[in-house]
Structure 1
Amino acid sequence: MALRTILTYPHPILRQQAEPVTVFDQELKTLVEDMAETMYHAPGVGLAANQIGVARQVVVVDRSTSEHERTYITLVNPVISAGEGKVVDDEGCLSVIECYAKVERFRTIHVTAQDVAGNPLEFDAEDRYARIIQHEVDHLRGTLFIDRLSSLKRALYKKKLKKILQEQE
């Protein structure tokens, strides 16, 4: 396992549509292990492959029920086929530095995907778990959570980011 660099907005790969996974091999398993290690080190609760520069449809989502546990699920080629209820809650993103905002998401979703071995997965998710999955699946489509904000909030964030990046130079 290895830590990977998490790319940050406005890196162009974050806007790319991720490619479906067709080969389930050791390379994919290594990618998933690296993603999980990177996610927990960040620390985060979800990570999409394109956040580490790999434009493939793979996400890892934390499923831990306690602070000292590290349990995650891997979703390969995930599809959200249904959503019910609307909930507004705070979100942040490892690829969108220094930005937290309220975002509306479905409260309950239906997910189909494959695991790291290519076996089919199908389940319903709700609340926090559903929010994380929706956030990560958005990444695979090239969508960031800031795209779900009002144009004013997005413009304010871009102005803030420009200042942050200038200070880092």
Structure 2
Amino acid sequence: MAPMHFERIDPKHVLSLLDFENRNRHFFETYIAPRDNAFYSLDGVGNHISELQYLAKCNRALSFVLIENNRIVARANLKNIESKCAEIGYRVSEEATGKGVASLCVEFLISEAKRNGIISIKAEVMDNNRASDKVLLKNNFVPTLCYLKKYLHNNIPVNSVLYEFYVEQCVE
């Protein structure tokens, strides 16, 4: 069995990313807003990858997939990069939850942030996603702000928490 490894998102991932998103669509929509139906097609995912590559070229985002046995098991992103600050986001497949994959993604993103001169990372988590709260706290993110009823998820108002991490905390 090959070890898991991260790859920069690329057009070669279009089929495996479409498979990943389709396999986990219902699971993801339990925690976050659904994507538009048009996304779930070769053109939709292909356009998404093209957009992510454009943002990377403009130094606004870095997007990765985590591969295990030639299959995507997670996505990890540094996004909205500006003035040495970025937001992180990740999606872990349902089958990979509870196996440390989310922590692996966050650790990898911290490392990439440091490598790219980013000093502040933020993450926002809706209060229906306690697993992400735990992962961020485990990785030394600090809750800094709570938004009351910021989002509607399945027609229910939900709160969210903003977490921050300062990369200079990292010890080599």
TM-score by length of 1: 0.25
Q: Which has the higher helix share?
A: 2
Higher RCO structure (Cα 8 Å, ≥6 apart)? 1
TM-score by length of 2: 0.24
